[in-house]
Copies of this chain bind each other. A is one copy, B any other.
Amino acid sequence: MSQPKSANITHQEACVTRVQREARLGQRGATVWLTGLSASGKSTVARLVDQALHQRGKHSCVLDGDNIRFGLNRDLGFSPEDRNENIRRIGEVAKLFAQTGTIALTAFISPYRGDRDRNRAINAEGDFIEVFLDCALDVCEKRDPRGLYAKARAGQIPEFTGVSAPYEAPKSPEIVLHTDREDEVGSAAQVVAYLEENGYLRAPSE
């Protein structure tokens, strides 16, 4: 048997607890689940919150179509089963981040209440913060930055949320952002304020 090369490594209590990680990071881990129609501003708000947290010395991440659809969920299409599985996996990954003390911001339409509630249910109380981007359909459709609504109206995208598939609004979200009347910067500031006021930006023992 060789001797330990680092005095920092001992066999006792080899498991770093979540609270220890959170204390180190000076924050509490959580899933911040943004939901809303296409073009309601989810990715933009998530990135603005992420940026604001970084500037405050906090550790967060953004999970959105860019890094999930072409990676972890590249095997999934858009069938009902695959959409369901898409949201399930994202909820599990966000939970893994939260358990390491990270504030994980997710930005997916996630139109079904059941899918979102299931993701809430795998988390402890307070670990899942649902953020509803309440943006009128006509405003989203007018923005249409990627031309998706136009394609959906033309019948080129089947089962498009808000056009040919339902969006089930959250019943009791922690935060509601009116992104049709408030700009994304103001919306992001509301999320940061919620995190601040509810103790997510302090170490758990403080």
Residues of A that sit less than 8 Å from B by CB = 1-6, 8-11, 13-16, 20-21, 24-25, 44, 47-48, 50-52, 54-57, 59, 61, 63, 67, 71-72, 75, 85, 89, 92-93, 95-97, 99-100, 102, 122, 181-186, 188-190, 192-193
Report whether B184 and A11 are in contact in the complex, using a CB–CB cutoff of 8 Å: yes
Q: Are B59 and A16 in contact (CB under 8 A)?
A: no
Residue pair B89, A48 in contact (C-beta under 8 Å): no
Closest Cβ neighbor of A13 among chain B residues:
B51
Q: Is the CB of A185 within 8 A of B11?
A: yes
A126 to B67, CA, bound (A): 20
Query: Bound state CA distance, A50 and B44, in angstroms?
Result: 33
Question: How many identical chains are in the complex?
Answer: 2
Whether A47 contacts B96 in the complex (CB less than 8 A), given A5-B186, A6-B189, A192-B6, comes out as: no
Is there contact, CB below 8 Å, between A4 and B189? Answer: yes
Q: How far is the CA of A190 from the CA of B15 in the complex (A)?
A: 19
